Amino acid sequence: MLTIYHNPRCSKSRQTLQLLEENNQDVTVVEYLKTPLNETKINELLGLLNISPIEMMRTKEAEFKEQNLKDASNEVLIAAMVNTPKLIERPIVTNGNTAVIGRPPENVLTLF
């Protein structure tokens, strides 16, 4: 079972979900803007992705600049993702023990 942390307004997120469905994958969809992720879940995803918080962020969003996050600590970056879910890179797809960011969407093919 795969889980996609999805933003339906994002074309890459929509393309990734479509790719999963075309490959007959059972997918749980989590719209993280409607159901924000807590600190524990963000840390879990960071571990599965094996990346730093800044690598899981949309650094070109206005909110990133407005919150002055460029040189922020990991703790501050994680708190920013909790408080401003729009800053989370999308989509993220997990298969339980590993995860990928669906940019490009074909990245998810490594999960199955």
Catalytic annotation, residues: 10
Q: Which of 111, 53, 48, 49 is nearest to 81 (CA)?
A: 53
Q: How far apart are CA 103 and CA 90, in angstroms?
A: 8
Residues in the chain, overall count: 112
Burial tier of 43 (Cβ tally within 10 Å: 0-12, 13-18, 19+): middle
57, 89 contact by CB (below 8 A): yes
